[in-house]
Structure 1
Amino acid sequence: MTDRIPARIIETLDREKPVRLTPAQAGGAIHTRSFTGLYRNLRLLGGAVLFLLYFGTLWLNWNGRQAVLWDLGTQQFHIFGATFWPQDFILLSALLIIAAFGLFFITVLAGRVWCGYACPQSTWTWIFMWAEKITEGDRHQRIKLDAAPWSAGKLLRRTAKHLLWLAVSLATALSFVGYFTPVRQLAADLVTFEIGMTAAFWLFFFTAATYINAGWLREKVCLHMCPYSRFQSVMFDADTLVVAYDAARGESRGARRKDSDSRAQGLGDCIDCTLCVQVCPTGIDIRDGLQLDCIGCGACADVCDSVMDRMGYARGLVRYTSEQALQGGRTRLFRPRLVGYAAALLVMIGAFVWALDERPLLSLDVTRDRTLYRENTHGQIENMYRLKLINKTQQQREYGVSLGEGPFELHGRRQVSLAPGEILDLPVSVTLVDAKQTQGLTRELRFEVRDLDDPASVVDTRSTFVAPAR
């Protein structure tokens, strides 16, 4: 006869208290409460810098053109004084890898601070929530407005909110498309209704995407669509800084008078005001522990500190801390995973800077004519080639074209002048000076192009010379 495991009923709920669902658990709209505090100010400062960079950079000029422009028509990417071409795509890939490792490093160090302070989805959502506040009022007013029947006042407030949302969405879309087509001409075409179909489509697409994501989906993007929210938790360790509730200090929670002796009543510092829930943009209760839904914005820490101030308690009941610190230990800053990410990040940044500094500012591609060979009027074996030269600098440059060592002679233009960003297809021919030098059907030769204004700047490309076997 097998032993049975005894079972017993555990009462997990206090039946004297009603069950309260968080906004996230209830599944309805999340109406956040206004608050102030250190982390809110940091978020506003970071958001202001990001908005200034995003909306302001594309209006800057550099040498008579837009300072930052990804010109798809000419396949050139201008960043102030530098111009990048499709051949430089490897640098963009390297930059994306560096950004990914930077995100990993930040996650191991301080959790999801990227989500709370710098993610475009979060930043634009805060802007849309601000528009909601100034048109429909604070949290309790919006809840009341939601429950109220439709009236002229409600229609006016809702219309004003959605017009603000659409204005921000259109400005966002105009700026984004403006990085791929000159923004001044794009804005003028939009005002005069002379915009092309392609530009109009992308403006509509990004306006709709911003309006839907920041206005309607909001926290659902973070919870259900963003892959980062899914894999970031596996990067946490016991020393990662997260927004956490100090249960040892806060429990048991309960309401009390400011001047009452909470310890005599068996209460902790949490007065169960639920303000931490009311300010949370994802509608969770931080007191339930670390959750996938938390974006690490620190809103609950700000509002809890304000409550602690009013009650005369020490701040930090909800704070940025680590699991190690909550258990009475010390947070370790230098740990293998963090040091490893930091080392990899520094190496990649160094390699990227070196590659950026060493990248050739002249591109040379050589294509040999399909004809194997021909004999010219002097009885010499001749091959035809087409050289494609690209001046990647922002200045007019003079270049000299030559061949490397070998029994060959170059015929055609030996010196060319290229404007900034100009592409030149240069047809040339090469003859074999001494037919006795031919060994087999093919022989290697090397084309060289030298910057005459900077003789140390040379690019070369190898090709083959075809001749009849002797």
Structure 2
Amino acid sequence: MKFDIKEQDLIIKPYNQEGPIYIREQKGYFQRIRRYLGWVLMLTFIAIPWIPYDGRQAVLLDVASQKFTLFGLTLLPQDFMILAMLFMTGAFALFFVTNWLGRVWCGYTCPQTIWMLMFTWVEHKVEGNRNQRIKLDKADWSVSKWQKKITKHAAWLVISLLTSMSFMAYFIPAKSLYMSLFTLEMSGIVSFWVFLFAFCTYGNAGFLREKMCTVACPYSRFQSVMFDKDTLVVTYDQARGESRGARKRKADPKELGLGDCVDCNLCVEVCPAGIDIRNGLQYECINCGLCIDACDSTMEKFNYQKGLIKYASEKQMEGKTTNPFRLKLLGYGGLTALFVVGMVVWMAMRTPIEASVIRDRNALYRVNFEGLVENPYTLSIINKTQHSLSYSIGISGIEEASLQVPDTITIEAGQMKRVPVTVVADGYELKSKVTPISFHIQALEDADIAITKETKFYRD
């Protein structure tokens, strides 16, 4: 994308570093999309821990018990592969969207952006519009200023606490978590995490704000790797807008030797990152489109054509056509689809039971008083369902071998149980010193829940 960027613009003020950014409240098409989408995402984030399923919390990430419950699915540490594939799917989906639409994740769905703009909305309602907030901060401390500041920060703290509680409800049953808060019976470790996340939310959304995006977040640094000439980004039409300058609404810009940009500076005042998009594409830009809404509203007032600032690719700005089937975009999309298919296949092949066979470390075998050879084993059985199940254990591979097992093997939902078993056989009837055998573990309540594990039987 070719822009006439002045060197002093890049050196002096790539973005506002001199103090807080006072974001102007802006209405418009893209702001409505963000606000509605933000409400949907926030309400979904809050509501998910409260969704019941089969008599329990549908989504619960129990880190202490190393058990993740997702509706009817229980994931244990042995299921780490599905979590790894889920993260990789999310990463490549993000790369795909970035190559296609730029940093729309940052502008529309990133929690930092949503909470930052929500805190800004509270600030706007309590302290007034942008000019009023600037004036208030410069004014001497008074009763009115104290009231507004205390009200604003109190609202921020309440939102931060609710956010922290909603987040912790994914790891601790929501009902017991909120009950412990209201009854002041919350444990020390839970209290620590709740207030830590509340403090982080309060600091990030209330104070750090755009610094999290421009300084702390690594995504803004490597996003350009995923951009190409076909990526849609927020773009200022320099050929149409320059030379910029103020004028009366009914004045003819051509007679004045001016472009369509009236230099109202609204695109800067509404930007959460405090940048001037007219200086060209900058890594601080989160593709939120607020400057587009601001510019379109100004163009409408002057009866100019909208789209002086718009979503466009470098090729579109050069009068060319964007290629929707470029290799990089198809590659990211293909990898995303591949990991999705992999997760589906893995889920289809996943069994709700897992077992392993552990031999006795003290002796491979022993001979009892009847002269029969005994091989002791320990079966580690994991019940990966959400219900308590009883299991039967059988053996194959040696005819007339007997199996000594406990009478009742009952394992609670999501738990592992070690079951000591002993295989007894007549050593003279075995052809070799090492004989392959198989353990067959079957759930009594469901014939489809079964697994077979192979091992060896030893004799002298």
Does the 8 A contact of 1:24 with 1:30 survive in 2? no
TM-score (norm 1): 0.91
> Aligned partners of 1:67 and 1:183: how far apart in 2?
11
How far is 1:326 from its partner? 0.6
Matched, 1:432 2:422: no
How far is 1:321 from its partner? 0.5
Whose RCO is larger (CA < 8 A, sep 6+)?
Answer: 2
Does the 8 A contact of 2:403 with 2:424 survive in 1? yes
CA 1:212–1:13: 2 relative to 1, 3 Å: closer
How far is 1:435 from its partner? 3.1
What is the total number of aligned residue pairs between the two structures?
453
How far is 1:374 from its partner? 1.4
1:58 pairs, out of 43, 49, 62, with 49
How far is 1:20 from its partner? 13
CA 1:304–1:163: 2 relative to 1, 3 Å: same
Matched, 1:325 2:316: yes
State the partner residue of 1:7: none
After TM superposition, the structure 1 stretch with the greater mean CA deviation from structure 2, 409-418 or 385-394, is 409-418
2:375 pairs, out of 370, 383, 388, with 383
After TM superposition, the structure 1 stretch with the greater mean CA deviation from structure 2, 148-157 or 428-437, is 428-437
How far is 1:399 from its partner? 3.0
Matched, 1:48 2:29: no
Does the 8 A contact of 2:98 with 2:227 survive in 1? yes
Matched, 1:116 2:87: no
User: Does the residue aligned with 1:287 lie in a helix, a strand or coil?
Assistant: helix
Alpha-carbon RMSD across the aligned residues, in angstroms, is 2.2
State the partner residue of 2:440: 448
State the partner residue of 1:88: 79
State the partner residue of 2:351: 360
Q: Percent identity?
A: 43
Does the 8 A contact of 1:76 with 1:85 survive in 2? yes
Structure 2 runs not aligned, ≥5 long: 1-5
User: Does the residue aligned with 1:24 lie in a helix, a strand or coil?
Assistant: coil
CA 1:435–1:125: 2 relative to 1, 3 Å: farther
Per-residue Cα deviation, 1:178-213 (whole angstroms, up to 9, x for no partner): 111112111111122111011011011101111111
How far is 1:51 from its partner? 0.6
1:284 pairs, out of 261, 275, 286, with 275
Does the 8 A contact of 2:99 with 2:329 survive in 1? yes
After TM superposition, the structure 1 stretch with the greater mean CA deviation from structure 2, 406-415 or 96-105, is 406-415
Matched, 1:189 2:184: no
> Aligned partners of 1:13 and 1:354: how far apart in 2?
54
Does the 8 A contact of 2:356 with 2:380 survive in 1? yes
> Aligned partners of 1:331 and 1:189: how far apart in 2?
56
Please give the residue correspondences for 1:87-236 in structure 2 after superposition, counting only pairs within 5 Å: 87-236=78-227
Does the 8 A contact of 1:446 with 1:460 survive in 2? yes
How far is 1:433 from its partner? 3.4
> Aligned partners of 1:415 and 1:459: how far apart in 2?
18
Matched, 1:275 2:266: yes
How far is 1:86 from its partner? 1.2
How far is 1:328 from its partner? 1.1
Task: Name the aligned partner's letter for residue 227 of structure 1.
Answer: P
TM-score (norm 2): 0.93
Matched, 1:459 2:451: yes
Per-residue Cα deviation, 1:398-429 (whole angstroms, up to 9, x for no partner): 43311232354322247744443343322210
CA 1:448–1:13: 2 relative to 1, 3 Å: closer
Task: Name the aligned partner's letter for residue 124 of structure 1.
Answer: W
How far is 1:455 from its partner? 3.5
After TM superposition, the structure 1 stretch with the greater mean CA deviation from structure 2, 187-196 or 385-394, is 385-394
CA 1:312–1:462: 2 relative to 1, 3 Å: same
1:409 pairs, out of 402, 415, 420, with 402
Does the 8 A contact of 1:22 with 1:283 survive in 2? no
Task: Name the aligned partner's letter for residue 239 of structure 1.
Answer: D
State the partner residue of 1:421: 414
User: Does the residue aligned with 1:36 lie in a helix, a strand or coil?
Assistant: coil
Matched, 1:312 2:303: yes
Task: Name the aligned partner's letter for residue 147 of structure 2.
Answer: L
After TM superposition, the structure 1 stretch with the greater mean CA deviation from structure 2, 360-369 or 417-426, is 417-426
How far is 1:444 from its partner? 3.5
How far is 1:342 from its partner? 1.1
After TM superposition, the structure 1 stretch with the greater mean CA deviation from structure 2, 67-76 or 353-362, is 67-76
